[in-house]
Amino acid sequence: MIYSPYIIACSMKSIKNNRKILVLEDDTHIRNNVVEFLMLNDYDVASAENGVQGLITYATFKPDLIICDIMMPEMDGYTFLEELQKRYPLNFTIFIFLTAKNSAADHRKGMYLGADDYIVKPFTFNDLLNAIETRFAKSDLRRESIEKAAEKMKQQSYSTPFHEFNTCLNGILTGSQFLMGNAEKLPLDIETQSILDVIKRSGLRLSRAINNFILSKELESKTYFPFIEDVPATYLVNSIVNVASDHHRSEDLNLLVEGLSIKTDKFLLKRVLDELTENAFKFTQKGDAVNWNIFLSPETSSLEIVYPNKFRFSNEKFEQITAYNQFTIGTQVLEGLGLGLFLSQKISELVGFALSFKELNNNQLCFKITLTN
């Protein structure tokens, strides 16, 4: 492809960067020119010809900025932005409309939906570049301000409010458990029992999220110090069985245990076991076998969980684990804060055991904890 002198001249004005931009434009000529220009300016660029393809691309590409035409087939720019906000309510992607519409009403509609800027056709590449770099500069200032505020909050005590949250949650969980345990005496109909089960499961999920957040802050601030002791195998088994029971999946759990004890921090190991077991039942269906193989010895201990890989978790995704990184299947964002596996990795580093992952040939996956004394 031959690039025009103007595109090359404009590209010299841009700084080097690794920002990601998604371009949505149904006009092939305009789309290709914009993509080529942005790539010359060292942006990482993906493109789509309508909103439907744009949503699919967004899920895997995770752009920092979106340039979107309004009038497109299948799904227009307004609908795309609405769908994006519904599916990713916490996303901070910069959004710029690229359009031939220039009325005040169109601008108000776009801004109401959450667009950051408008570029009206016809436009120059210099206009486009200035708009992009201006929006990135403002975003950087906002991010810096948020990081400063977060750093200030980190210096303050966060345990008191979360202790209050947990106190309230314990009341909810205890109350729902009592009612469920006395369903025949009260009595409670099937629908009421189902509602109580939803309340209990929601409470457990919220409690887990809060405690994960607290632990992440403790590990980050290096205020948690492991307490190494002999942890009996029965403690590990009870932790796993309790998670299976909470999911009403006790019959799907298979446990193979050899050995009597393991020397480690039992609280931290339990957090990892709970996380791995929770994920196994969350991402499989009733009737799918979840297998724990636990081998404990004074020299080397291993604990591995094997279950069907229904959500196509891969080695690549395991390598991409970071705090608050929520994984997606297609355009579906998996539930949770995106902290669990990240914390498990941090715990393994702190305590001194290895956490590994592998895909098995029979469409199964395996997480393995290895501890050498």
For the chain, domain boundaries: 5-153, 157-205, 225-372
99 vs 106: CA distance, rounded Å:
10
* DSSP character at residue 323: T
**Angle ∠(37,139,14) on CA atoms, nearest 5:** 30
18 vs 14: CA distance, rounded Å:
12
The CATH architecture annotation of domain 5-153 reads 3-Layer(aba) Sandwich (3.40)
Which of 320, 308, 322, 286 has the alpha carbon at shortest distance from 359? 308
Distant-in-sequence, close-in-space partners of 113: CB < 8 Å, separation ≥ 6: 78, 81, 82, 85
Which of 280, 350, 140, 362 has the alpha carbon at shortest distance from 371? 350
For 177-230, the pLDDT digits (tens) are: 777 677 667 777 777 777 877 787 777 777 777 777 777 777 777 767 788 889
For 284-304, the pLDDT digits (tens) are: 999 999 999 999 998 899 999
Other CB atoms within a 10 A radius of the CB of residue 186 amount to 11
Token pair listed for 70? 């309004």
- The more confident residue out of 99 and 284 is 284
For 72-84, the pLDDT digits (tens) are: 998 999 999 988 8
Token pair listed for 80? 């795309």
User: What is the separation of C-alpha 233 from the centre of its chain, rounded to a whole number of angstroms?
Assistant: 32
- The more confident residue out of 304 and 332 is 304
The radius of gyration computed from the CA coordinates of the chain, to the nearest angstrom, equals: 26
**Angle ∠(34,39,43) on CA atoms, nearest 5:** 105
pLDDT at 323: 62
Q: Give the CA dihedral 184, 186, 192, 193, nearest 10 degrees.
A: -40
Token pair listed for 17? 């960067």
Ranges 143-152, 213-222, 322-331, 351-360: which has the least confidence: 322-331
**Angle ∠(262,264,268) on CA atoms, nearest 5:** 120
187 vs 193: CA distance, rounded Å:
10
Q: What is the mean pLDDT of residues 115-139?
A: 89
Which of 120, 107, 99, 98 has the alpha carbon at shortest distance from 21? 98
pLDDT at 90: 65
Place of tokens 């009737």: 287
Q: What is the mean pLDDT of residues 49-61?
A: 92
Which of 112, 210, 197, 195 has the alpha carbon at shortest distance from 161? 210
**Angle ∠(250,324,90) on CA atoms, nearest 5:** 110
For 222-253, the pLDDT digits (tens) are: 767 788 889 999 999 999 999 999 888 999 99
CATH of domain 225-372: 3.30.565.10
Token pair listed for 363? 């469409």
Q: What is the mean pLDDT of residues 310-337?
A: 64
Distant-in-sequence, close-in-space partners of 171: CB < 8 Å, separation ≥ 6: none
Cβ distance 233 to 253 under 8 Å? Answer: no
Band of pLDDT at residue 329, cut at 50, 70 and 90: low
pLDDT at 166: 64
Other CB atoms within a 10 A radius of the CB of residue 110 amount to 23
Q: What is the mean pLDDT of residues 303-321?
A: 84
Q: Is the pLDDT of residue 13 over 50?
A: no
Q: Is the pLDDT of residue 278 over 80?
A: yes
- The more confident residue out of 147 and 326 is 147
Per-position DSSP letters for 221-284, written without gaps between them: TT------EEEEHHHHHHHHHHHHHHTT-GGGEEEEEESSEEEE-HHHHHHHHHHHHHHHHHTS
The share of the chain scoring above pLDDT 70, in percent, equals: 81
pLDDT at 328: 54
pLDDT at 67: 95
For 135-179, the pLDDT digits (tens) are: 998 888 888 877 777 666 655 545 555 566 667 777 777 777 777
